[in-house]
Amino acid sequence: MNLGARLARAMGERGPLCVGIDPHPGLLGSWNLPDSAAGVREFSRTVVGELGGTVAALKPQSAFFERHGAAGIAVLEEVLQECRRTGVISILDVKRGDIGSTMTAYAEAYLRPGAPLEADAITLSPYLGAGALAPAIDLAIAGGKGVFVLALTSNPEGAEVQHATTGATSVAGAVCAHAAAVNARFGGVGPVGLVVGATVGDAVARLGLDLAATGAVLLAPGVGAQGGSAATLREVFGDARERVLASVSRSVLAAGPGGLATAARREISGLVSHP
């Protein structure tokens, strides 16, 4: 079963929620943990322990581990291993995008079975050309894994690139078309997901994007503390709403140790009660 199908099944069983593992200094402080690799380890182990059996996916943000150097990367290895042990799907947020042998090396770092930093899926940036992502997409398919390609992000600066037109379509449209072409081989949901922010407003409709036709799971950051809600998801995604995996971080992590599962279930309830 390809990663997209696995994730769709997990969303059906556990609800369409992905929780970020974002051990930034403010959250570490609110948890009374030091801003160190040791603090990141305690934070991350708690998140996986409390949420691994509750949510469809967990999304470690690599940057918050990398800032602690080799010790932080060692913690990230442990976190990804723990996700595999608990059976929760891991989406490593690294936003890699390069060409040729370098893209291949990134793919092997994160998507090769048995790699120290092996994840179920990674985020990718397509702005050196969507075709340049082929080494990562091919390795993901071979190993039953997946990727999430940036298409329409919530940050306001993204529009100058993503909304720009290339020929008869937008850059975002070309990215979506590339995902659709790969996913068409699988029928139903494929291994190439798309990142579309929960707060992009009418951009999907204005750019004429048919997200439902892409065969992609749609990872939607921006729900919760950033202002996205079940209502905004309906407005942004329309007919593709059932494929949306809402990504939250602070609105769950702020609950602190012992309260994460309750906070996550509250988010899930809000999403499934307002389809």
The residues assigned a catalytic role are 95
> How far apart (Å, rounded) are the C-alpha atoms in residues 26 and 14?
29
Q: Are 82 and 45 in contact (CB under 8 A)?
A: yes
Tokens 């600066």 belong to which residue?
157
Long-range contacts of 261-267 (CB under 8 A, 24+ apart): 261/50, 261/51, 261/54, 264/17, 264/19, 264/51, 264/54, 264/55, 265/54, 267/17, 267/223, 267/224
> Helices 100-111 and 134-142, interaxial angle, to 10°?
30
Residue position matching structure tokens 């039953």: 144
Alpha carbon distance 9, 32 (integer Å): 36
DSSP 120: S
DSSP state for residue 231 in the 8-state scheme: H
In degrees to the nearest 10, what's the CA dihedral of 54, 57, 58, 62? 180
Separation between Cα atoms, residue 58 and residue 238, nearest integer Å: 25
Taking the mean position of all CA atoms in its chain, how far away is CA 91? 5
